[in-house]
Amino acid sequence: MGGGASKNARPSSAHPEGPKSANGKKSTALGDLLFKAGIKKVVMIRHANAKPRDPEAAAVEAGTVLKPETPFANAWTVGDLTRGLTPKGEEQAAAAMTWLNQCDVRAVICSEASRAIDTKEIMTAGKFPAGGQGCLTLHTLHPARSGTPDCEKMFDKLGYGTLNTYYADASVEGLEGKGKPVFRNYMNKVTGELNEVITAGKASFPSTGDTIAVFGHAVFLNAVAVAVGEAMGIPKAEELVAQLELGEAQGIMCDSAAQAIMLKQV
């Protein structure tokens, strides 16, 4: 079932030229792209419960991918991308099919991490295999691939939580009280990257469906939800998303037709 915060306004279908924001201005390029592609809903889904890091994989990565210039990203790189789901995670993902099946999923966008891919496979019943029709990859959904060292530094210290927790934080050295501009930087970055990934991949989309499912990680997905909600012109998108705690195998749905943002959960 679904639940959470939402705001209603005149549906975007009332505007044949594309969705509008609360002040009457057209949505961003990403919003226009989604509208023209017939995508009315985008749901950001956190991966299900995952296994701990594999020490052997960590040892391999330690000699190949560590980045001295971004030490905080390393905690989320070493052995992290190869973590699969636990039996509990598999059960969570299977249960979450209940609410995702209520959506007409046309395409998926996924982190490169195994746990996100495994969650995607279960929740979509294998309908979007890697390299297949409508399956896209966005590397920056993963904390260590975000390309935003300050976000990575905050995530290394704070871990899971709402965006409001990050906005209010004064404990991360050098970033005291800067959580909002730090994550605004990521939101701006991911808006452009989503535009590029969807533009490049939309030719592979199946012909039917009005929903894109995005599988990723923790507070970074909350930030993506803000970016998508604002792109769709949904009023108070940041305010609505910033209060939401995204649990395992839960999703944040942005619905341009209903002009709503809601938490999707079993």
- pLDDT class for 202, splitting at 50, 70, 90? very high
How much is the average pLDDT of 227-238? 96
Would you state the pLDDT for residue 26?
44
Query: In the structure encoding, which two tokens stand for residue 207, read together?
Result: 């012909």
| Whether the predicted pLDDT of 74 surpasses 70 | no
CA distance 50 to 116: 9
**What is the band of 73 on the pLDDT scale with cuts at 50, 70, 90?**
low
Q: Looking at the domain assignment, is residue 211 inside a domain?
A: yes
Asked whether the predicted pLDDT for residue 1 surpasses 50, the reply is no
**What's residue 78's pLDDT?**
72
| Averaged pLDDT score across all residues of the chain | 88
pLDDT score of 56: 76
* Residue 228: CB atoms within 10 Å: 31
In a domain, 148, yes or no: yes
Residue 60 is predicted with a pLDDT of 74
CB atoms within 10 A of CB 221: 26
Q: Provide the CATH number for the domain around residue 168.
A: 3.40.50.1240
Residue 81 has a pLDDT of: 85
150 falls within a domain:
yes
| Cα–Cα dist 127/105, whole Å | 10
Q: Which residue has the higher pLDDT, 22 or 160?
A: 160
Examine residue 114 and state whether it is found in any structural domain, yes or no: yes
90, 66, 157, 262 alpha-carbon torsion, rounded to 10°: -40
Does residue 57 sit within a domain?
no
Q: Is the pTM of this model over 0.85?
A: yes
Lowest-pLDDT range of 59-68, 94-103, 108-117, 122-131: 59-68
| Between residues 163 and 21, the one the model is more confident about | 163
pLDDT digits (tens, 9 = 90+) for 124-147: 999 999 989 999 999 999 988 898
pLDDT at 21: 41
Confidence of residue 249 (pLDDT cuts 50, 70, 90): very high
Given 3-state DSSP classes, what are the helix, strand and coil percentages for the chain, each rounded to the nearest 5? 45, 15, 45
Two structure tokens written together for 55: 């020490």
Burial of 59 (0-12, 13-18, 19+ CB in 10 A): exposed
d(CA 74, CA 246): 23
Which residues constitute the domain of residue 198?
2-51+84-264
Looking at the 3D structure of the chain, how many domains does it have? 1
Distances (CA, A) of 133 to 1, 105, 182: 28, 12, 35
Average pLDDT over residues 212-220: 96
**Does residue 34 lie in a domain region?**
yes
45 DSSP β-pair partners: 215, 251
Q: Does 22 map to a domain?
A: yes
Query: Does residue 61 sit within a domain?
Result: no
| For residues 80-95, average pLDDT | 95
- Cβ neighbors of 260 (< 8 A, separation 6 or more) are 6, 7, 8, 234, 253, 254
pLDDT, greater one: 75 or 209: 209
Confidence (pLDDT) at 229: 97
